[in-house]
Amino acid sequence: MLLEHINQILGKLKEKDIPRNMQGQPDALRLWAMEMTLSSAAGKQLYDPILDGLRSAVRYDRTYFDKIVASLLPLLEKLTTGKIAELLSPDYLNMADLRPIFDWEQVIRKNGIVYIGLDALSDSDVASAVGNSMFADLVSVAGQIYKYGMNAGLPVRHDGKLAINLHCDEFNELMGDEFIPLINKGGGAGMQVTAYTQTSSDIEARIGSPAKTAQVIGNFNTLIMLRVRDNRTAELLTSQLPEVEIYSKTLVSGHSDIADVEQGQDFTSSTQDRVGTVKTPLVTPAEMINLPKGQAFALLEGGQLWKIRMPLPTGDDDDALMPASLQNIAEHMRRHYRTSENWWEEKG
């Protein structure tokens, strides 16, 4: 039916009837006939998002469209070639590829652990693109979980919400506008985000907006701060603390001469210790900057201040509990790792 409609329009179209940006192109009449057919009532019933994107490319002027996508082409080439393409877009029909293919919902249902090394130091553009798409996908999954639960569509349902923990190191390299709703509204779906960065300026430099930076920082309930070198970053913690009154002691001494020689004294002296109270910040930015290694201040449980001191490994060879290297830890985890093929039979 649509093909007949295309042929009917094609028989009536002339070169002057098509948009100026399409005139002179090969098959311009047929392309415009297809566009008119898809814009009709019958064509709108055949909606497809990929087809709709191709139609927009046809409608736009080619030079205008090239300007829009010019900045994206280098990044798209990186993401669609080489090993990156094999990782992000595997061939689902390749039976010789034994790598498991999974999505976020499968990982969450199986209580799985996923480590993603983005190698931002080597290629920050690819790391940023993959990180942003990952967060955007997680936002979509969080919305699905919030509306329908984790086990939507499964024959066996278990009550209870699963905690989804995200640990994002150097998260300022990964975040974008899609990260804000994840930390702002993801708690309703069980999302718990732990982010690591050096300074607050890193976030602002990435987002480019002080207001959005304050929005990101304000959505975190817990703040743990080790030694920092930036006064502005230190004030993120110290500005939330109240002033306290401390006792102060003042030594006052003095003397006075006696003019009457008949008293038998030449002068009198006095010494006083005066005790009072003064207000002072509970923790100052200077104290944050001068923290020793392995120590930190933390705002936990609704803003309660804690001082943390972490034991540091000494590196002595006589420590029997200290692994020789991270490789030994990984091998131990690989030997003792338990898979979750029968995750649907587990309770909880």
**Are residues 214 and 337 located together in one domain of the fold?**
yes
In a domain, 64, yes or no: yes
Given a cut of 80, is residue 111 above it in pLDDT? yes
How many domains does one find in the chain? 2
If asked whether residues 199 and 337 sit together in one domain, one would say yes
User: Do residue 107 and residue 17 come from a single domain?
Assistant: no
Residue 298 located in a structural domain:
no
Angle between helix 200-207 and helix 210-218 axes, rounded to 10 deg: 130
- Min mean pLDDT across 55-69, 80-94, 191-205, 280-294 is at 55-69
Predicted local confidence at residue 296, as pLDDT: 94
pLDDT of residue 226: 93
> Could you tell me if residue 236 is inside a domain?
no
Instruction: Clarify whether residues 46 and 86 are in a common domain.
Output: no
Residue 197 contacts residue 204 (beta carbons within 8 Å): no
Confidence tier at 312 by pLDDT (50, 70, 90)? confident
In the numeric block, the tokens 């086990």 are attached to 151
Assess whether 174 and 323 both reside in one domain: yes
- pLDDT of residue 289 exceeding 80, the answer is yes
pLDDT band at 288 (very low <50, low <70, confident <90, very high): very high
* CA nearest to 144, candidates 109, 101, 98: 109
Q: Give the span between the Cα atoms of 42 and 9, in whole angstroms.
A: 14
> Average pLDDT, stretch 107-116?
86
| Tens-digit pLDDT profile for residues 325-345 | 888 888 888 888 776 655 555
In a domain, 229, yes or no: no
Same domain, 35 and 122: no
Q: What is the rounded average pLDDT of the residues 72-93?
A: 78
Instruction: Evaluate whether residue 6 is within a structural domain.
Output: yes
Whether 84 is in a domain gets the answer yes
pLDDT-above-70 percentage for the chain: 91
**20, 35, 70: which is the final residue of a domain?**
70
- The reply to whether 161 falls in a domain is yes
Q: Domain range spanning residue 147?
A: 76-220+313-345
Give per-residue pLDDT as tens, 171-186. Answer: 888 777 778 888 888 8
Residue 249 has pLDDT above 70, yes or no: yes
Q: Which tops the pLDDT comparison, 289 or 315?
A: 289
Tell whether 16 is covered by a domain: yes
Q: Is the pLDDT of residue 26 over 60?
A: yes
pLDDT band at 205 (very low <50, low <70, confident <90, very high): confident
Strand partners, 299: 223, 305
Q: Are residues 320 and 200 in the same domain?
A: yes
The four Cα atoms 227, 228, 233, 239 give a dihedral, to 10 degrees, of: 40
**At CA 198, angle to CA 219 and CA 238, rounded to 5?**
60
Listed residues 22, 37, 70: the one ending a domain: 70
The type of residue at 22 is M
